[in-house]
């Protein structure tokens, strides 16, 4: 099947690649004259820049300006980023990274943060049990956890504000200037320390001139998405911007027993920003955002038969992956407040404010970033995917987070460029986690706790021009974290709360203090004016934590240790010609005390309960390469490939989950030499052709991605392998001569590929998977003023 899909995607690419020749046969040749209404001869056009500047000028005004310019000669555009805390070309940043502009997100059909895995190499984003909590993994480094009390291995930043939880990114992908995905440890430049990498979301900023725009999108399953913004000056010194988005999306799944539908989306978000030039060298930026998500979760389907322990009924495996099942018992309804008619879904709300002050003091810039964010998570999932009540789950979380970052950096293009900073954060989490085991175990369980985390980090990085062509980089970070788990209790609701036997002594309290050092050394060498070689050695560090699952024994709360990762990377970035760009990197990761999700047999529930363990040593090796080419005017071709492999490299004796479930007690196995759990190969690309016809600009585009098969949870065995899959998207966009409006016809998952996002189980005998969305087609109309 994958070769069929490969042929289809390459065939579509070949058709687009042949478009210039076919077009030339039908239209008279034209010279590169200024574009006017009389320029009906369809001459190819040069694509607009794919990256957004951080200047207070939006992409829309730049695009309209280009629309009235002469047809330029084909040339790749420079991509400006702030990955190293200063504006510079992405081709001058000595690290592996991918950059997606706001327009890239549209053409690549990146609707949520989960879709980033289909647009970049070596990135995976999975929904936890089909829910709204994304789990990031970069180059195989990730952290699987359906609770909310542990830090991610991948750092998340929105406009320089560090977010504690990946779920806080949901609803953020609107009015975006660009997304920067940085691979490998980044602790010497960012507030939070990470081992996997960092994802930076940079939004469009207030503009000096008045601008406004809106778009409406309608598609299959009654998809209706709206976006809009207004931006401009409020006075000589104050500029503002307001943006919003809403999304409604009809159901695409069905309850196999009742034929009720599932899959509705209902979400909205808004963002307001103010820039105030208080003085010539002193500026303030204020931001506020908020939103809600009342969408259905992705329903799980049965990939093997299910047998009810209550009635003996056997439900066959679902051949149709859009089938699912759920049901809320009256008892579960009483303790959670859910309706007995509730569908798997979420009722989440989030918001926050931030204030950034910037002082330019000659050769030094000082910056203060203060932020507050909150999240209310109310989420119901049916993890047995049937009408029975073997494992129905309800999360009730409240997160409050305060962050403060102070940063100083050098200004100007001096021989020594540096940045240093101090970062502090305080996170409060209150979580209640209800589990309805009544049909399997005869009770409803409640796990409740409060957690506070205080983090203090000091970081710095310097780049020095050793010669005109050779640069040296040195960075270091020291972090201190205190994590306190208070009032942890786990027990049965009968209907009063009765602690499990392991908690008969009362609530359990735990405290963990972590201190870690990370750093970076590297060299960058300009082999030619447009070719850079680089080599780096960096160390990442992630603090330890607690397994806050619904365990029946307080001993399971013993903290797991911090993990560290030493990354060795070499690479090059080369503009081989004005129309051909080729970047590549290779890496070796040396892991220590990798945090791995396993499961222990719990005598109270007679089932497996997730627990985190540390693998003493492991390694990951791999590479990424990406290519951008504009062989003729109007034709764009981009490709990327990522490959990685990893294994445990020392004795790693831990729970054998399948053997433990079968025997009714814990069985241990040495996993030394076993492969790590992630897809090895990721591949994707885009082919687009743009031309003029009657003064209108047309753009035909296809993009595609491939993900390799992999074992979703290695310790659960081969039955939980997620198969490989291809996805192909396509679009055709028509833009008016004045560049004020455009209409796009699009198709996602063009060939209606049936594929899985994740496979798992919560209790033995309930083998479930989360299916990806089927084909959707639609139209998007955009107007900019």
Look up residue 604 and give its two tokens. Answer: 């109270």
**Per-residue pLDDT at 48:** 37
Residue 36 lies in a domain: no
Range of the domain at 323: 2-25+91-784
How far apart, in whole angstroms, are the C-alpha atoms of residue 379 and residue 391?
14
Residue whose pair of structure tokens reads 């359906």 in the numeric block: 146
Contact 382, 427 (CB under 8 A): no
Q: Is residue 84 part of a domain?
A: no
Say what percent of the chain tops pLDDT 70.
87
Please provide the size of the chain in residues.
Answer: 785
Q: Is residue 50 part of a domain?
A: no
Does 447 map to a domain? yes
CATH number of the domain that 602 lies in?
Answer: 2.40.170.20
3-state secondary structure of 559: coil
Confidence check: pLDDT of 44 > 80: no
Question: Domains in the chain: how many in total?
Answer: 1
CB contact set of 212 (below 8 Å; sequence gap of 6+): 228, 229, 230, 231, 784, 785
Q: Span 257-278, mean pLDDT?
A: 95
pLDDT more than 90, % of the chain: 66
- Gap between the Cα atoms of 123 and 183, Å rounded: 9
Q: DSSP assignment, residue 320?
A: S
Residues 224-240 pLDDT 10s: 999 999 999 999 999 99
**For residue 1, what pLDDT is reported?**
41
Judge if the upstream peptide bond of residue 777 is cis by omega within 30 degrees of 0: no
Q: Taking the mean position of all CA atoms in its chain, how far away is CA 203?
A: 16
Q: DSSP letters of 190-255?
A: SSS--SSEEEEEEEPPP-SS-EEEEEEEEEGGGEEEEEEEEEEESSSSEEEEEEEEEEEE---EEE
Mean predicted confidence (pLDDT) in 175-199: 89
Computed on alpha carbons and rounded to an integer, the radius of gyration of the chain in Å comes to 26
pLDDT higher than 90, residue 523? yes
pLDDT tens figures, 727-740:
999 999 999 999 99
The β-bridge partners of 361 are 364
For the chain, give the mean pLDDT: 86
pLDDT at 128: 74
> If pLDDT is split at 50, 70 and 90, which confidence band does 200 have?
very high
Residue 48 is assigned to a structural domain of this protein: no
Q: How far apart are CA 79 and CA 93, in angstroms?
A: 11
750 domain residue, yes or no: yes
Q: E strands within 13-116?
A: 80-81, 88-89, 97-101
Band the pLDDT of 601: cuts 50, 70, 90: confident
Mean pLDDT of 602-624: 85
CA quadruple 15, 773, 214, 171: dihedral positive or negative? negative
Positions of E strands within 280-363: 282-293, 300-302, 306-307, 314-315, 323-324, 345-346, 348-361
Name residue, tokens 């956890």.
145
For residue 51, give the 3-state DSSP assignment: coil
CB–CB of 147/431 below 8 Å? Answer: yes
CA angle 173, 177, 178 (to 5 degrees): 75
Q: Are 385 and 301 in contact (CB under 8 A)?
A: yes
pLDDT confidence of residue 54: 40
Question: For residue 763, is pLDDT > 80?
Answer: no
Q: How far apart are CA 95 and CA 197, in angstroms?
A: 11
- Summarize pLDDT for 205-218 with one digit per residue, the tens: 999 999 999 999 99
- pLDDT per residue over 702-725, tens digit each? 999 999 998 866 667 777 889 999
Q: Scan for tokens 């040296």, then name that residue.
A: 472
Q: What is the pTM of this model?
A: 0.87
Question: Can you tell me which residue has the tokens 């001869």?
Answer: 41
Q: How far is 120 from 579, CA to CA, in rounded Å?
A: 21
For residue 371, which of 451, 410, 421, 427 has the smallest C-alpha distance?
427
- N-term to C-term CA, the chain: 46
Indicate whether 87 pLDDT > 90: no
Contacts of 548 (CB under 8 A, 6+ apart): 147, 149, 150, 431, 433, 447, 449, 451, 485, 488, 557
Output the pLDDT for position 113. Answer: 87
Q: Please tell me the least confidently modeled range out of 276-290, 499-513, 621-635, 667-681.
A: 499-513
18 has pLDDT over 50? no
| Of residues 153, 67, 55, the one with CA closest to residue 563 | 153
Which of left, alpha, beta for 614 (phi over 0: left; psi -120 to 50: alpha)? beta
Q: How confident is the model at residue 504 (pLDDT cuts 50, 70, 90)?
A: low
> pLDDT tens-digit profile of 453-491?
999 999 999 999 999 999 999 999 999 999 999 988 888
Q: How wide is the angle at C-alpha 646 spanned by C-alphas 640 and 650, nearest 5°?
A: 165
pLDDT of residue 34: 34
Q: Which of 493-507, 639-653, 685-699, 755-769 has the lowest mean pLDDT?
A: 493-507
Opening angle at CA 82, ends 78 and 84, nearest 5? 115
In sequence order, the β-bridge partners of residue 212 are 230
pLDDT of amino acid 279: 96
Let me know if residue 423 belongs to a domain: yes
Half-sphere exposure (CA, 13 Å, Cβ side) for 453?
25
Task: Give the highest mean pLDDT range of 132-146, 171-185, 464-478, 535-549.
Answer: 464-478
> Is pLDDT of 77 > 90?
no
Average pLDDT over residues 414-422: 95
In a domain, 569, yes or no: yes
Task: Write the DSSP string, 676-699.
Answer: PSS-SEEEEEEEEEEEEETTEEEE
- For 443, residues 6+ apart whose C-beta sits below 8 A from its C-beta are 437, 492, 493, 494
């Amino acid at each position: 099947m994958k070769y069929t899909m490969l042929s289809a995607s390459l065939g579509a690419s070949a058709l687009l690649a042949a478009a210039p020749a076919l077009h030339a046969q039908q239209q008279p040749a034209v010279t590169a004259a200024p574009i006017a209404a009389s320029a009906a001869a369809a001459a190819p056009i040069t694509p607009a820049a794919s990256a957004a500047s951080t200047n207070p000028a939006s992409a829309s005004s730049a695009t309209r300006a280009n629309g009235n310019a002469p047809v330029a000669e084909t040339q790749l555009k420079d991509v400006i980023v702030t990955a190293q805390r200063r504006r510079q070309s992405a081709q001058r940043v000595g690290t592996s990274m991918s950059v997606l502009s706001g327009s890239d997100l549209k053409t690549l059909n990146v609707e949520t943060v989960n879709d980033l895995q289909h647009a970049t190499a070596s990135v995976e984003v999975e929904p936890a049990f089909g829910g709204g909590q994304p789990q990031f993994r970069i180059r195989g480094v990730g952290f699987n956890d359906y609770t909310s009390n542990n830090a991610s291995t991948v750092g998340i930043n929105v406009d320089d504000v560090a977010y504690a939880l990946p779920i806080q990114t949901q609803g953020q992908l609107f009015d975006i200037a660009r997304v920067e995905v940085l691979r490998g440890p980044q602790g010497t430049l960012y507030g939070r320390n990470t081992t996997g990498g960092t994802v930076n979301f940079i939004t469009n900023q207030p503009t000096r001139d008045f601008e406004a725009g809106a778009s409406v999108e309608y598609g299959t399953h009654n998809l209706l998405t709206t976006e809009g913004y207004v931006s401009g000056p409020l006075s000589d010194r104050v500029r503002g911007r307001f943006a919003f988005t809403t999304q409604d999306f009809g159901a695409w799944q069905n309850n196999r027993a009742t034929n009720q539908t599932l899959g509705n989306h209902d979400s909205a978000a808004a963002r307001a920003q103010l820039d105030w030039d208080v003085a010539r060298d002193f500026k303030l930026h204020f931001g506020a955002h908020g939103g809600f998500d009342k969408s259905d979760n992705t329903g799980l389907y049965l990939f093997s038969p299910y047998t009810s322990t209550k009635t003996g009924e056997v439900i066959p495996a679902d051949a149709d992956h859009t089938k699912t099942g759920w049901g809320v018992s009256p008892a579960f309804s009483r303790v959670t407040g859910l309706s007995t008619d509730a569908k798997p879904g979420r009722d989440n709300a989030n918001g926050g404010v931030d204030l950034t002050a910037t002082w330019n003091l000659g050769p030094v810039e000082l910056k203060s970033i203060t932020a507050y964010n909150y999240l209310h998570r109310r989420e119901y999932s049916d993890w047995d995917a049937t009408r029975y009540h073997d494992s129905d789950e309800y999360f009730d979380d409240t997160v409050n987070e305060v962050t403060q970052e102070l940063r100083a950096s050098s200004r100007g293009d001096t021989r020594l460029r540096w940045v240093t900073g101090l970062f502090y954060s305080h996170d409060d989490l209150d979580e209640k986690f209800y589990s309805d085991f009544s049909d399997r175990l005869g009770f409803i369980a409640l796990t409740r706790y409060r957690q506070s985390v205080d983090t203090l980090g000091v970081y710095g990085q310097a780049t020095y021009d050793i010669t005109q062509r050779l640069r040296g980089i040195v960075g270091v970070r020291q972090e201190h974290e205190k994590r306190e788990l208070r009032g942890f209790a786990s027990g049965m609701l009968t209907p009063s709360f009765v602690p499990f036997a392991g908690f008969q002594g009362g609530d359990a309290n735990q405290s963990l203090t972590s201190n870690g050092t990370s750093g970076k050394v590297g060299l960058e060498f300009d082999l030619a004016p447009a070719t850079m070689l680089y080599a780096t050695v960096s160390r990442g560090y992630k603090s330890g934590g607690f397994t806050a699952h619904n365990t029946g024994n307080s001993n399971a709360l013993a903290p797991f240790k911090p993990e560290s990762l030493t990354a060795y990377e070499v690479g090059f970035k080369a503009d081989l010609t004005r129309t051909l760009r080729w970047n590549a990197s290779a890496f070796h990761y040396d892991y220590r005390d990798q945090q791995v999700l396993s499961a222990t047999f719990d005598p109270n529930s007679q089932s497996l309960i997730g627990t985190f363990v540390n693998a003493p040593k492991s390694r990951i090796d791999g590479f990424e390469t990406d290519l951008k080419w504009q062989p003729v005017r109007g034709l764009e071709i981009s490709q990327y490939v990522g490959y990685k492999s990893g294994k445990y490299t020392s004795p790693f004796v831990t729970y054998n989950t399948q053997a433990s479930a079968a025997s009714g007690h814990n069985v241990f196995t040495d996993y030394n030499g076993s492969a790590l759990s992630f897809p090895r190969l990721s591949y994707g690309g885009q082919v687009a052709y743009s031309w003029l016809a009657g003064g209108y600009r047309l753009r035909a585009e296809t993009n595609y991605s491939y993900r390799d098969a992999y074992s979703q949870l290695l310790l659960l065995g081969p039955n939980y392998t997620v198969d490989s899959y291809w996805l192909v998207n396509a679009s055709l966009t028509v833009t008016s001569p004045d560049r004020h409006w455009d209409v796009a016809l699009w198709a996602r998952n063009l060939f209606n590929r049936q594929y899985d996002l994740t496979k798992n189980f919560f209790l033995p005998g309930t083998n479930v998977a989360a299916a990806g969305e089927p084909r959707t087609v639609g139209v998007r109309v955009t107007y900019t003023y």
